[in-house]
């Protein structure tokens, strides 16, 4: 049975926050009776006129008598007085909540009044508001899309917490819980400190003798920064005194920051200034990104799920350029950071994986400008210039970052810890840790399966090894070779099958000698990298979705521009051609040591094949889309020798098999591949398990399905292909995306 509407809700204080919540109660009919207390008759009269309350009182006792729910919405420093007054009329089943901007002071006030913290008190704080105040300023949608933090104590009654949580959810807010202490520390930094700075800046400038001039010529930045100095002085006075300790800590940290800036300006230290500003800008963008609810936000809050909906039909036509190569983008940041001089990169992929690498090097003190529409300028620090990061390096979903960085970090003088998101934290890291250990590295993975977090102790002396790689992996090869830059003597790797050689090509591009003899690559430690310019070609792994799409959709004629044609990556073209695809390579050329070309692809009748095993490592990331090609082909396609697919961003063999079975395709997963019988794709709901390539593959399957395909958990597409939806739509895919609260059924 629903507990709404409540019989009686009482407000103590009916200003901006209280009256906004009262508006919600009224509009949704959540309370049969609303009463309120405020200091002035005028507020109560206005509230009555606005229809917000049934009865107003000038004392709290009368207002809250008999209420099911009491909302304290007055200044925090009045809390103790109000609680003392109303104590005698609070019934055993009454729930009290508050909206105060500090939580420690509210809980302490309750403790002084009741001697223990009452179990019916649910401290809360809506992170919404404005610099306006009073009953007239309230708005019914003030809390929509904003966070409300509840800070229940161990003794707080769970049904009381539930009631308050439901109330805020009905007001449109995202409700989260944290401890009182955490709340006060977080808010001291994110809300109280900025208000303090705004008040201080305006006051400082206003007291200068030429203040009129200063304000007359003030630019937009001043207006933006000081908007909050128009907030209610009395309220803020109370907040700073109520949250004294946490505010002082935040202020001290800030003073250290301004002292560093002052010193850098004084000394004309441009590297230090650029470093601080680029780091701050990146953090601000990351923050905006989080608020926009994309993949990073998902990992932080896990509250929203991105879903694709693809309706049948469409054909792929036109000319497009897909985003820059992920592997090359990663490596450009790594080698650019370790080089001497300034490296400029264009065509950089601004996907989350490559941005995670970029952030890791910023955290290690490298000044990196951009990315700005694919352009990045890296101020290299040389092979011995990295600094200890302030905390663990978070590399999100990116296996490439973690494995390659393992090699680099093993050779540094400082300790590091690398962590990742939920999906990366399941992936094996021992395969890189093992060879690095035999070079002398001190590196630990976690748990029996040897997964992240990865901890590395610095200060080790590395010695070159020869490593016979048991499984073909470009990431392991690159990680070992990168460690070899610092190792004594020669480091060499022999691979059982060719894997992508971007690291080797780029090392040469940075002036480092790399020797390749058959399947063996070697480098000598102790050299140096010299800054260069890099033009990142389009990623053939991203192009693969479009190659398959245009092949399977009747009437297609699509040209993909400036695609990277590194021979270790073009397996997807060879396999599709064996299946009968019509792909033409136009204008092959070189760009920064990497071969590139335009690819024209027209629809073709595909036939099932036994995929030659020697092509498997050359197309390892493209199998999700190749499974779709096989599902649309006539006859049976057999894949073997691809066990590596089971430890990618998801178990790609199983996840693709589950999805294709749902869509009516006859597919049998095997240990190292699958047997797929082409047929008619049906509509249905498939789950990508947070794997970007699975999500995009099922999206293009919509071209040949006979009903809509719904694909769940798609936010990670942003890791490799930020504007997939936009580009796919422009080409002709009937795709839309929407967000849904995680856990809801579709």
Q: Counting contacts by CB under 6 A, is residue 133 touching ligand NAP?
A: yes
Q: Counting contacts by CB under 6 A, is residue 232 touching ligand NAP?
A: yes
Q: Counting contacts by CB under 6 A, is residue 10 touching ligand NAP?
A: no
- Most distant CA atoms of the chain, gap in Å: 90
Looking at beta carbons only, is 103 or 379 nearer to ligand NAP? 103
Looking at beta carbons only, is 124 or 324 nearer to ligand NAP? 124
Closest CA to 99 of 116, 82, 119: 82
* Placement of tokens 């003190």 in the chain: 365
Looking at beta carbons only, is 130 or 311 nearer to ligand NAP? 130
Member of 34, 52, 74, 109 binding ligand NAP (CB under 6 A): 74
Contact string 670-689 vs ligand NAP (x = CB under 6 A):
--------------------
Looking at beta carbons only, is 6 or 78 nearer to ligand NAP? 78
How big is the CA angle at 438 (ends 432 and 439), to the nearest 5 degrees? 90
Q: Counting contacts by CB under 6 A, is residue 126 touching ligand NAP?
A: yes
Q: Counting contacts by CB under 6 A, is residue 384 touching ligand NAP?
A: no
Minimum CB–partner distance for residue 126 and ligand NAP (Å): 5
Minimum CB–partner distance for residue 238 and ligand NAP (Å): 7
CA distances from 623 to 565, 615, 628 (A): 17, 11, 9
Which residue sits closest to ligand NAP, CB atoms considered?
15
How big is the CA angle at 482 (ends 479 and 485), to the nearest 5 degrees? 155
Looking at beta carbons only, is 139 or 600 nearer to ligand NAP? 139
Catalytic residue (choose from 68, 98, 501, 621) = 621
* 58 within 8 A of 80, measured Cβ to Cβ: no
Q: Which stretch binds ligand NAP (CB under 6 A): 99-107, 286-294, 351-359, 682-690?
A: 99-107
Member of 10, 15, 149, 366 binding ligand NAP (CB under 6 A): 15
Closest CA to 622 of 659, 576, 586: 576
Member of 16, 163, 180, 424 binding ligand NAP (CB under 6 A): 16
Q: Counting contacts by CB under 6 A, is residue 84 touching ligand NAP?
A: no
Minimum CB–partner distance for residue 180 and ligand NAP (Å): 15
Minimum CB–partner distance for residue 79 and ligand NAP (Å): 8
Looking at beta carbons only, is 40 or 682 nearer to ligand NAP? 40
How big is the CA angle at 346 (ends 341 and 349), to the nearest 5 degrees? 115
Member of 35, 43, 410, 491 binding ligand NAP (CB under 6 A): 43
Q: Counting contacts by CB under 6 A, is residue 134 touching ligand NAP?
A: yes
What contacts 241, CB < 8 A, 6 or more positions away?
A: 77
Minimum CB–partner distance for residue 11 and ligand NAP (Å): 8
Member of 10, 23, 25, 38 binding ligand NAP (CB under 6 A): 38
Q: Counting contacts by CB under 6 A, is residue 13 touching ligand NAP?
A: yes
Minimum CB–partner distance for residue 184 and ligand NAP (Å): 13
* 443 within 8 A of 436, measured Cβ to Cβ: yes
Contact string 239-258 vs ligand NAP (x = CB under 6 A):
x-------------------
Minimum CB–partner distance for residue 62 and ligand NAP (Å): 12
Q: How many CB atoms lie within 10 A of CB 252?
A: 9
Q: Counting contacts by CB under 6 A, is residue 59 touching ligand NAP?
A: no
Minimum CB–partner distance for residue 160 and ligand NAP (Å): 20
Q: Counting contacts by CB under 6 A, is residue 80 touching ligand NAP?
A: no
* 546 within 8 A of 320, measured Cβ to Cβ: yes
Minimum CB–partner distance for residue 15 and ligand NAP (Å): 2
Per the DSSP assignment, residues forming a β-bridge with 610 are 638
Q: Counting contacts by CB under 6 A, is residue 18 touching ligand NAP?
A: yes
Q: Counting contacts by CB under 6 A, is residue 559 touching ligand NAP?
A: no
Member of 31, 67, 69, 78 binding ligand NAP (CB under 6 A): 78
How would you write 133-179 as a 3-class SS string? CCHHHCCCCCCCCCEEEECCCCCCCHHHHHHHHHHHHHCCCEEEECC
Local structure of 670: helix, strand or coil: strand
Per the DSSP assignment, residues forming a β-bridge with 488 are 463
Local structure of 318: helix, strand or coil: strand
Contact string 180-219 vs ligand NAP (x = CB under 6 A):
----------------------------------------
Looking at beta carbons only, is 74 or 487 nearer to ligand NAP? 74
Per the DSSP assignment, residues forming a β-bridge with 520 are 494, 517
Looking at beta carbons only, is 121 or 579 nearer to ligand NAP? 121
User: DSSP letter at 89?
Assistant: G
Does an H or E element contain 667, and which?
Answer: strand 666-670
Looking at beta carbons only, is 146 or 182 nearer to ligand NAP? 146
Q: Counting contacts by CB under 6 A, is residue 101 touching ligand NAP?
A: yes
Looking at beta carbons only, is 174 or 691 nearer to ligand NAP? 174
The pair of structure tokens assigned to 497 is 């099958």
621 is catalytic: yes
Q: Which stretch binds ligand NAP (CB under 6 A): 34-42, 294-302, 304-312, 375-383?
A: 34-42
What contacts 406, CB < 8 A, 6 or more positions away?
A: 418, 429, 432, 433, 436, 443, 454, 456, 479
Order of strands across the sheet that contains 533-535: 367-372, 375-381, 340-346, 533-535
DSSP assignment string, 489-514: SEEEEE-SS----HHHHHHHHTT---
Member of 10, 12, 386, 480 binding ligand NAP (CB under 6 A): 12
Q: Is the peptide bond before 38 cis (omega within 30 degrees of 0)?
A: no
How big is the CA angle at 347 (ends 341 and 349), to the nearest 5 degrees? 100
How big is the CA angle at 304 (ends 126 and 738), to the nearest 5 degrees? 120
Residues 582 and 717: their CA atoms lie apart, in Å, by: 27
Minimum CB–partner distance for residue 129 and ligand NAP (Å): 2
DSSP assignment string, 107-130: HHHHHHHHSS--TTEE-EEES---
Local structure of 677: helix, strand or coil: strand
Q: How many CB atoms lie within 10 A of CB 387?
A: 13
Member of 21, 34, 71, 99 binding ligand NAP (CB under 6 A): 99
Q: Counting contacts by CB under 6 A, is residue 35 touching ligand NAP?
A: no
Looking at beta carbons only, is 14 or 476 nearer to ligand NAP? 14
Residues labelled as active-site residues: 621
Which residue ranges make up the site for ligand NAP (CB under 6 A)? 12-18, 37-40, 43, 73-76, 78, 82, 99-101, 125-126, 129-130, 133-134, 232, 235, 239
């Amino acid at each position: 049975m629903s507990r709404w509407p409540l019989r009686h809700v009482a407000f103590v204080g009916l200003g901006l926050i209280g009256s906004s919540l009262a508006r919600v109660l009224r509009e949704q009919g959540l309370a049969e009776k609303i009463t309120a207390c405020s200091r002035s008759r005028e507020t109560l009269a206005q509230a009555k006129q606005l229809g917000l309350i049934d009865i107003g009182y000038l004392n709290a006792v009368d207002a809250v008598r008999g209420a099911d729910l009491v909302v304290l919405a007055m200044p925090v420093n009045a809390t103790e007085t109000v609680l003392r007054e109303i104590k005698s009329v609070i019934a055993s089943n009454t729930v009290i909540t508050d909206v105060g901007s500090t939580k420690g002071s509210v809980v302490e006030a309750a403790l002084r009044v009741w001697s223990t913290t009452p179990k019916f008190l649910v401290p809360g704080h809506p992170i919404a508001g404005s610099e306006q105040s009073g009953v007239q300023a309230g708005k019914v949608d003030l809390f929509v899309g904003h966070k409300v933090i509840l800070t229940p104590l161990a003794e707080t009654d769970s049904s009381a917490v539930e009631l308050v949580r439901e109330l805020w959810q009905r007001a449109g807010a995202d409700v989260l819980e944290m401890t009182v202490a955490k709340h006060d520390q977080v808010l001291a930094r994110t809300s109280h400190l900025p208000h303090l700075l705004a008040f201080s800046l305006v006051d400082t400038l206003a007291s200068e003798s030429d203040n009129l001039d200063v304000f007359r010529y003030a630019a937009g930045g001043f207006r933006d920064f000081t908007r909050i100095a128009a907030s209610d002085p009395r309220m803020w006075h109370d907040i700073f005194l109520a949250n004294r300790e946490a505010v002082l800590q935040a202020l001290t940290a800030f003073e250290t920051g301004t002292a560093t800036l002052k010193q850098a300006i004084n000394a004309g230290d441009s590297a230090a200034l650029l470093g601080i500003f680029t780091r701050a800008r990146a953090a601000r963008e990351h923050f905006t990104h989080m608020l926009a609810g994309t993949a990073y936000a998902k990992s932080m809050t896990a509250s929203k799920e991105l879903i694709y909906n693809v309706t049948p039909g469409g054909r792929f036509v036109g000319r497009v350029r897909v985003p820059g190569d992920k592997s090359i983008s990663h490596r450009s940041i790594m080698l650019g950071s370790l080089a001497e001089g300034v490296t400029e990169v264009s065509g950089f992929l601004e996907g989350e994986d490559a941005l995670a690498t970029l952030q890791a090097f910023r955290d290690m003190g490298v000044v990196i400008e951009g990315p700005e529409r694919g352009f990045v300028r890296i101020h290299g620090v040389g092979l011995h210039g990295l600094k200890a990061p302030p905390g663990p390096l978070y590399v999100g979903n990116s296996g490439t970052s973690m494995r390659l960085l393992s090699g680099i970090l093993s050779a540094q003088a400082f300790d590091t810890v690398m962590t990742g998101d939920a999906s990366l934290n399941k992936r094996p890291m021992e395969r890189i840790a093992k060879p690095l250990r035999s070079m002398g590295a001190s590196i630990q993975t976690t748990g029996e399966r040897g997964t992240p977090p990865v901890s590395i102790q610095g200060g080790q002396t590395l010695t070159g090894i020869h490593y016979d790689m048991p499984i073909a992996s470009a990431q392991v090869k690159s990680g070992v070779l990168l460690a070899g830059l610092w190792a004594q003597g020669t480091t060499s790797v022999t691979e059982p099958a060719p894997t992508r050689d971007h690291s080797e090509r780029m090392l040469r591009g940075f002036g480092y000698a790399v020797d390749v003899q058959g399947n063996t690559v070697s480098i000598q430690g102790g050299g140096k990298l010299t800054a260069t310019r890099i033009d990142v070609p389009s990623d053939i792994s991203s192009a693969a979705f479009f190659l398959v799409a245009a092949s399977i959709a009747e009437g297609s004629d699509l040209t993909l521009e400036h695609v990277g044609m590194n021979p270790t990556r073009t397996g997807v073209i060879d396999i599709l051609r064996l299946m009968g695809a019509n792909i033409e390579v136009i204008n092959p050329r070189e760009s920064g040591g990497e071969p590139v070309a335009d690819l024209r692809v027209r629809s073709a009748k595909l036939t099932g094949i036994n995929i030659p095993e020697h092509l498997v490592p050359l197309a390892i990331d493209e199998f999700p889309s190749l499974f779709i090609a096989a599902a649309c082909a006539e006859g049976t396609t057999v894949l073997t020798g691809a066990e590596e697919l089971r430890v990618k961003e998801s178990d790609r063999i199983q996840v693709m098999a589950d999805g294709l079975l749902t869509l009516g395709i006859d597919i049998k997963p095997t240990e190292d591949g699958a047997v797929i019988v082409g047929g008619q794709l049906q509509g249905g709901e498939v789950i990508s398990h947070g794997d970007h390539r699975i999500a995009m593959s099922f999206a293009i399957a919509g071209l040949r399905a006979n009903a809509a395909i719904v694909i769940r958990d798609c936010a990670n597409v942003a890791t490799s292909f930020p504007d997939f939806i936009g580009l796919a739509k422009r080409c002709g895919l009937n795709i839309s995306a929407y967000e849904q609260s995680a856990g809801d059924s579709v």
